[in-house]
Structure 1
Amino acid sequence: MAVIVWIVEGTWPACVDAARTHAPEGAGIVLLHVTGHEIPGAAHGAYAGLLGRGHPERDPGTRLEQLASVSAAQLLQQAADRLGRRCTRVERTGRIEREVVAAADGADLLILARDGDRSHLGPKSLGPAGRFVVDHAPCPVLLVWPETAPGLAGLPSPPSHR
């Protein structure tokens, strides 16, 4: 069984705990972190457009890419430590939601956490990236709450039939 665990800042502990609970012993677990390319790309573009191309060593986009890679490696290490089982750590860069879907190709299970408004039950508890992944995942998805799920009091009233 191949299990992909999407590791995101702030919600990763719940995903790792779900993998520990639901992935059978011996499952191939992949901890996946995806870094978006938008911020370093904007920094590269701003530097090139405003300051020229004469000193590529001063390009702030390169430094942002390096910092993102170090941060991803640290986060993946923390997740692996919490998992406490053998796993593979994968770092990808690009359009986050598309990279997650691509990484899940051929997997038996994808575990992710809600990334939207988690104060209420309902569709808004998924942000744009999470919604895209849930809608396009090529495998079964285990969607977890990063903290205790809100109560049923927030459930909308049923429609009245006339």
Structure 2
Amino acid sequence: MRVIAWLVEGTWPACVDAVRTHAPHASEVVLLHVNGPEVPGVAHGAFAGLLGRGHPERDPGDRLEELGGGSAAELLDAAAGRLGRPCLREERSGRAEREVVAAAEGAGLLVLARDGDRSRLGPHSLGPAARFAVDHAPCQVLLVWPEPAPGPGTPPPPPPHRRP
């Protein structure tokens, strides 16, 4: 079975621990990190619009892309060390939710962490990218809390039109 662990800064240790606990040892494990185009894109745009006419070699977006790649490699190295078993490391660039769904094609399990409001139970504990991945994954999904889950008294009250 192929297991994809989507690693994001701040929540990746919980995903790696879940793979160690729940994925069969014979599984092919892929540690996945996706670099989004947002920050370098903003820098490219600002440079082109305000500063960069005639000097493309000074575009700060290029440097931000390099730094993002180095950070992803460090995160994948740390995750592989924490996993403590053979694994593949995959870096992708693009819209995170789309790249995760594409990477999960042919996999048996996708492991990801909650990335929204983690102070209470409920649908808002998933951000837009994680919600998309959960809804569109072409395989089973293991959704983990990056820290202990909040207590059962944390969901919001029912809407006024549904109260008894």
Q: Which residue of 2 aligns with 1:44?
A: 44
Shift of residue 153, structure 1, vs aligned partner: 1.2
CA distance in 2, matches of 1:4, 1:52: 40
Structure 2 residue 148 is the aligned partner of structure 1 residue 154:
no
Partner-residue secondary structure (3-state), 2:130: helix
Is the 8 Å Cα contact of residues 52 and 58 (structure 2) preserved in structure 1? Answer: no
Task: Tell me the alpha carbon deviations over residues 10-63 of structure 1, each in whole angstroms, 9 at most, x when there is no partner.
Answer: 000000000001111110000000011011011111111212342222100000
Q: Which residue of 1 aligns with 2:137?
A: 137
Structure 2 residue 53 is the aligned partner of structure 1 residue 27:
no
Structure 1 unaligned blocks of 5 or more: none
Taking structure 2 as the reference length, the TM-score comes to 0.94
Q: Which residue of 2 aligns with 1:15?
A: 15
Task: Tell me the alpha carbon deviations over residues 109-132 of structure 1, each in whole angstroms, 9 at most, x when there is no partner.
Answer: 000000000000000000111111
Q: Which residue of 2 aligns with 1:56?
A: 56
CA distance in 1, matches of 2:94, 2:42: 13
Give 2:74's aligned amino acid: Q
Cα separation, partners in 2 of 1:52 and 1:145, compared to 1, 3 Å: same
Give 1:125's aligned amino acid: S
Provide the identity percentage: 72
Taking structure 1 as the reference length, the TM-score comes to 0.95
Structure 2 unaligned blocks of 5 or more: none
Is the 8 Å Cα contact of residues 106 and 139 (structure 2) preserved in structure 1? Answer: yes
CA distance in 1, matches of 2:116, 2:163: 29
State the number of aligned residues: 161
Is the 8 Å Cα contact of residues 110 and 140 (structure 2) preserved in structure 1? Answer: yes
RMSD, matched Cα:
1.2
The answer to which of 60-69 and 50-59 deviates more is 50-59
